[in-house]
Amino acid sequence: MRKLTVMLGLFLFLVACQNKTGMEDAQNPAEPSPEVLTVKAGQNGEVTAPTEPHDIPPVYIDEANYTGDELEIVKLMNARLHYIWEEDEKGYMSLIDPQSPVWGMTRTKVRKIVSMSDITIREQRKLYEGVVTVTELDENDKESSRTMVFWKKKEEGDSAQWIIADID
């Protein structure tokens, strides 16, 4: 029984040491990633600073493929990507309906929309509702699926603009 207790203690000690080393390695990597080591020469031959993955700008949806209300929704989606990337919460929240359940900007930067369903626009009593499902890729190459809901009031002037109603 004593040997079993000693072996179990030794095993737990080794597991604890391995976990600590893993945490230290994750916090202090020995070598930078290959992307950080990439050095580019500028137009005059001078060397520019290395490019890190989070410095790569987002990829926007091509607006040339859309017209009318669909184009306005795509412009809104592109503005959302821009504000997220620039960490401009005030600009981001200006795209959101004040009565929306969306409380603030997402914590991760969305790099691009990988796939997108057709934009469905339905007429309601007092507004038009647009719905689209997207798969987004964040700065760490993690995919997430979102359903975005847009509203456009049936009014004249500035209040007849598309606005984000919800993001699930």
pLDDT in tens, 117-166: 999 999 999 999 999 999 999 988 999 999 999 999 998 776 689 999 99
Same-domain check for residues 9 and 71: no
For residue 47, being part of any structural domain is answered with no
For residue 41, being part of any structural domain is answered with no
Same-domain check for residues 81 and 24: no
| Closest among 55, 60, 53, 66 to 114, alpha carbons compared | 60
pTM for the structure as a whole:
0.66
Q: How many domains does the chain have?
A: 2
Same-domain check for residues 18 and 81: no
Cite the DSSP H helix spans in 28-117. 34-37, 68-86, 89-93
Same-domain check for residues 8 and 74: no
Same-domain check for residues 59 and 18: no
For residue 136, being part of any structural domain is answered with yes
**Alpha-carbon gap, residue 140 to 107, rounded angstroms:** 12
| Closest among 131, 163, 127 to 148, alpha carbons compared | 131
Domain holding 88, by residue range, is 53-167
